[in-house]
Amino acid sequence: MVSRKRFLQLSALSAGSLLIPSFFFSKSTLSPQNFLTNDDINTLLKSAKTFCKEKKWAKAKGKYEQIISSRPQEVRAYDGLRRCIFQKPKQESAYLQILETAVQQYPENKELKQRLYSQYIKIATGNKKVSRLKNKNLLSVAQNKLSELALQHPDDKCLQHQLAKVNKLISFNAGDLHHKKNTNIKQLHKQNQKLFKARFDLLTNDQLSTKLTQLKNKPYKKERENHIRELYLILIKRNIKSNGSDQAIVLAKEYHSLYPKDRSAVYWIRRLGKQKRDFQTLLAMEEKNHTVRQNFWSAASYYNAAKKSQPSNSSKLQLLLSDMEQKKTDENQEFILQCKKIDFYLLQNQTTEAENKLNVLLKTKAGIKNTSIIDSVNTLVIRYLKKTSQENITQKYLYLVINAKDLTTSSDSWEQKIAQLNQNRNFSKSIYIEKLQKYLNKV
C-alpha cells in the first residue's frame, strides 16, 4: 500500500512530466558535440519539411526538436513544430508553454516574442476555455506586450500590423464574444475577402503581364504557384471580356504548358478552342492531358477532340475506345463508352454494328427517368435514322417523344423503341425539349 507521503511524491513527478521537456533549453544540450552549423540547420529544416509533406508528423517533430535543442532561438523550427503539434486537437496549451519557456530564456528575441503574442491572440479569439485558464484578459495582455515591442522597434511594419490587428479585435469585443456570433468580426472578414479579390482591379493588363513575367522569372517556389495561376486566370477572363479571344487562348496555352494538371487551364483551352473551332489546339491539349492523367475521362475527352480534328483516323479512335474500356470503373462510364462505340460505328458508316449496339442500349434504358441520359440516346437514334435515310421517323421524332406514353405499343418497331425510351421522361424543364428540337433542326 502506498503511503500518503509517497503518493504526493509520485504526483509531483507526474505533474513535472507534463511540462515541456527541459532538454530544449538546458545548457547541456548546447555542448560542442550537439552544436549544429547553419548548413546542418538548413539540412534538418528541409528534411523536416519533406516529412511534413509526407504527413510523417512524428519524424518531422523530432527534426524540429533537434534543431531547437541545439539552437533554441531558431524561429523557423518553432513554426514547423507548431504545425506538427497541432495535428492533434487541444494542443494550444502545450505549444504556448514551449513559446513562453523560449521567451523567458531569451527575452531579447523579438521574433520569438511576436510568435508568443500571436499565439495569445489566436487563443483569446479561438479557444475561450484555454484563454480563461491562462488569463481572462489575454487579448489585452497581447495588446500591452505588442505595444511595448512596437515602441522598441518602430520601423517594423509587420509588428505595427500585428498591433493594429489586436487593437481592432479589442474594439470589436473579440475576446469576450465568439467569432461566429460577433457581427463586427464577420463583417470585417467579408470586407477582407472583397479587398483580397479586388487587389488587382486597378492594374492594367500590361501591368499584370509584367507582374506575371517577373514571378515566372524568379527562382521556383511552391508558394508562388497559386499567385501565378491567379494572374493567368485574371488575364484570360479580361481578354475574353474585351473580345480578345486570340490573346486569351495564347495565355491559356501558356498556362497549360506550365501546369498541365491544372483543371482551370484544361477548362479554358476547351472552352476557347471550341469557341474558335481551333480543333488542332484542342487535340494537342487533350493528348497531353491524357498522357498526364491516364484515366477514363481524359480518354473520352481525347476521343471527342480526335473525332473533330481527325475523323478519318479510325485507328486512333479505336485505340482510345480500347483505353476507355480498360479504365472504366462504374455504370455511368460504361454507358458513355457504349455511346462512344455507337458514335464510332456511325462515323465509319458501319450501320449494322451501330444498330445492334443501339438496340441493346434502347432495351437497357427503356423506361428510365434521367432526361440527360434519355436525350444522349435520342441523339444517337436520330443520327442512325438520318444515316439510314429513315426521314419519315426523324420528321415526327419530337411528336414521338411528347406522346411516348401512348405509343409504347406502336406497330412500328422504331416508334415503339423511341416511345419506350421516353415514356417516363420529365417534362418540367423545357430546356431539354428545346435542345432536342435544335438538334433535330441541325441534322
Residue 93 has what pLDDT? 85
CA distance 351 to 387: 8
Q: Quick one: cell of 312?
A: 478519318
CA distance 441 to 443: 6
Helices (H) and strands (E) in the chain, counts: 24, 0
Instruction: Flag whether pLDDT at 33 surpasses 70.
Output: no
Domain boundaries, given as residue ranges, for the chain: 18-197, 200-277, 361-443
Contact predicate 147/140, CB 8 Å: no
**What is the 3-class SS of 319-361, one letter each residue?**
HHHHHHHHHCCCHHHHHHHHHHHHHHHHHCCCHHHHHHHHHHH
In degrees, rounded to 5, the angle at the alpha carbon of residue 161 between the alpha carbons of residues 156 and 165 is 150
pLDDT tens-digit map of 399-436 = 998 998 889 888 989 999 999 999 998 888 888 888 88
Residue 14 has what pLDDT? 44
Residues 316-320: what's their mean pLDDT? 92
Is 378 in a helix, a strand, or coil? helix
> What is the percent of the chain with per-residue pLDDT over 70, rounded to a whole number?
91
Residues 275-294: what's their mean pLDDT? 90
In degrees, rounded to 5, the angle at the alpha carbon of residue 33 between the alpha carbons of residues 30 and 39 is 85
Give the pLDDT band of residue 189 (cuts 50, 70, 90).
Answer: confident
Contact predicate 251/259, CB 8 Å: no
Contacts 24+ apart (CB under 8 A), 47-56: 48/80, 49/80, 52/80, 52/83, 52/84
pLDDT tens-digit map of 220-270 = 888 888 899 999 999 999 998 887 778 899 999 999 988 888 899 999 999
CB atoms within 10 A of CB 323: 19
* CATH class of the 18-197 domain in this structure: mainly alpha
CB atoms within 10 A of CB 412: 13
Residue 166 neighbours by CB under 8 Å, 6+ apart? 117, 121, 139, 142, 143, 146
Residue 346 neighbours by CB under 8 Å, 6+ apart? 354, 380, 383, 384, 387
CA nearest to 423, candidates 374, 385, 380: 374
Residue 264 neighbours by CB under 8 Å, 6+ apart? 229, 233, 255
Residue 233 has what pLDDT? 93
Residue 309 has what pLDDT? 87
> What is the percent of the chain with per-residue pLDDT over 90, rounded to a whole number?
44
Burial of 14 (0-12, 13-18, 19+ CB in 10 A): exposed
CA distance 348 to 342: 10
Residue 25 has what pLDDT? 54
CA distance 163 to 169: 10
Q: Quick one: cell of 45?
A: 529544416
Q: Please report how the helices 57-70 and 75-85 are oriented relative to each other, as an axis angle in degrees rounded to 10.
A: 150
How high does pLDDT run on average in the chain?
A: 86
Euclidean distance between the first and final Cα of the chain, in Å? 95
CA distances from residue 329 to 225, 286, 319, 337, 343 in whole angstroms, order as listed = 32, 21, 18, 11, 21
Contact predicate 303/324, CB 8 Å: yes
Residue 181 has what pLDDT? 78
pLDDT tens-digit map of 366-391 = 989 899 999 899 999 999 999 998 88
Instruction: Flag whether pLDDT at 6 surpasses 70.
Output: no
CB atoms within 10 A of CB 4: 7
Which contiguous run of DSSP H or E holds residue 231? helix 225-241
Residue 34 has what pLDDT? 56
Q: Give the residue with greater pLDDT, 11 vs 124.
A: 124
Q: Quick one: cell of 223?
A: 508558394
Contact predicate 180/135, CB 8 Å: no
φ/ψ of 82, rounded to 5, equals -60, -45
Residues 29-40: what's their mean pLDDT? 64
CA nearest to 239, candidates 208, 279, 280, 216: 208
Give the pLDDT band of residue 312 (cuts 50, 70, 90).
Answer: confident
Give the pLDDT band of residue 4 (cuts 50, 70, 90).
Answer: low
Residue 27 neighbours by CB under 8 Å, 6+ apart? none
Which contiguous run of DSSP H or E holds residue 194? helix 183-197
CA distance 440 to 385: 11
Instruction: Flag whether pLDDT at 130 surpasses 80.
Output: no
